[in-house]
Amino acid sequence: MKYLFVLGRNIELSKAEVLTYFEKEKNRILNYNLIKNGLLIDLENEISQKIVDSFGGVVSVGKVLAFGNSKEIQKKLDKINLYSGTKNKLNYVLWNFSEGYETIQNYLKERFREEKLKATFKHLTGSIKLQDGETVFIPSSNLIDEEYFVFGKKEISFGKIISTCDYVSLEKRDMEKPFRRESLAISPRLAKILINLSYVKNDEILLDPFCGVGTILSEALIRGIKVIGIDKDKNAVNGSIENLRWFKFNSQNYELINDDSSRAKISGANVIVTEPDLGETLKKIPPRKIAEETLLRFENLIVRVINNFKGKVSGRVVFTSPYIRIGKKRLKCNIEKIVSSTGYKMIYEIPEYRENQIVGRMIYVLGK
């Protein structure tokens, strides 16, 4: 079963998210191949159309309908139904992750002409700027009836997009919740990615020891994961309570504690997923000394918190940390020190930042 995952702006992070997800779901990955922001995965089992909602870093998911070299592929396409609608007029796009793009584009034109369909090829006019600076194109209109894709070099895969992330509802939900704290909150999309990187399973317990107004908690609860949230700020805990009630989650599935996470007590959890304080929101690039002091404070805090909970948490620890721009470079925390002071091993270290952001994030995934 071959599927295409069109990844969001941080390819490295989204790729890690998708691969970890299938590993956790025990849907074996037989093979995968990355071209630009297209990740083609050969999976042992079928996936549901709604799977796109499980990810924070996936734009669209497609299913491969035919594959083969440039000679074989056209013969294979002749045997399959390409248009599933009932009107005899359609607009379509062709996502491009292949050198075989033009051959397929011409094939589609010819095929629709033969089938007497008034088919209009539309260009991808929307765009995403990837973290590495490259721009990739996406559909910008919702007047598209079919989205096809072509992927691969020697072996070409052709398929159809089966679902697309509904960013509009995701953002609407985030904006409408009663308690918001824009400057400190993490986006629901990044929260989903961190949750997936933690390998947490449904019904397990996730601990967020710096829960703020509860973005990570609510994204986990939506997935059927139980949560414990801790924050030393009473207002933040009250904000979390209001937000989780607004979502109408079953209150037996969450616990909120107003305490300092370097000494708070919990009965047990499976994973930690959190965004601690990343230091001040800086408007100007700081001197190296200030950046180093911020990082040192961060390291000391995260070590105290991990050590406080490590006896009670069986699985992974996923956290963001400050990634501070000084001149053209960025400084990150001393992960070797964090790892050696807590007894964990590093699984992933992935940067997440925007070009003009002074304090970006370095994301760490630690395991025992």
Ligand X SMILES: C[S@@+](CC[C@H](N)C(=O)[O-])C[C@H]1O[C@@H](n2cnc3c(N)ncnc32)[C@H](O)[C@@H]1O
Chain residues in the site for ligand X (CB under 6 A): 181, 184-186, 209-210, 212-213, 215-216, 230-233, 236, 260-262, 275-277
Chain residue whose CB lies nearest ligand X: 212
Question: Cα–Cα distance between 258 and 256 in angstroms, integer?
Answer: 7
Judged by beta carbon, residue 136 or residue 359, the one nearer ligand X is 359
- Which of these, 329, 340, 337, lies nearest to 351 by C-alpha position? 329
Judged by beta carbon, residue 147 or residue 275, the one nearer ligand X is 275
Judged by beta carbon, residue 220 or residue 236, the one nearer ligand X is 236
Tokens of 333: 């925390």
Tokens of 81: 């139904």
Tokens of 287: 């001197």
Judged by beta carbon, residue 99 or residue 233, the one nearer ligand X is 233
**Smallest separation (angstroms) from ligand X to the CB of 251:** 19
**Smallest separation (angstroms) from ligand X to the CB of 311:** 18
Tokens of 202: 């449904």
CA dist list (Å): 356 to 28, 126, 269, 280, 322: 39, 22, 37, 16, 15
Instruction: Report strand pairing: 345-352 vs 329-331.
Output: unpaired
Question: Cα–Cα distance between 165 and 50 in angstroms, integer?
Answer: 9
Judged by beta carbon, residue 276 or residue 360, the one nearer ligand X is 276
Q: What are residue 319's DSSP bridge partners?
A: 274, 364
**Smallest separation (angstroms) from ligand X to the CB of 183:** 9
**Smallest separation (angstroms) from ligand X to the CB of 264:** 7
- Quickly count: other Cβ atoms within 10 Å of residue 58's Cβ: 26
Q: What are residue 236's DSSP bridge partners?
A: none
Question: Cα–Cα distance between 189 and 8 in angstroms, integer?
Answer: 10
Judged by beta carbon, residue 63 or residue 361, the one nearer ligand X is 361
**Smallest separation (angstroms) from ligand X to the CB of 297:** 10
**Smallest separation (angstroms) from ligand X to the CB of 215:** 3
Judged by beta carbon, residue 181 or residue 368, the one nearer ligand X is 181
**Smallest separation (angstroms) from ligand X to the CB of 324:** 15
Question: Cα–Cα distance between 143 and 149 in angstroms, integer?
Answer: 17
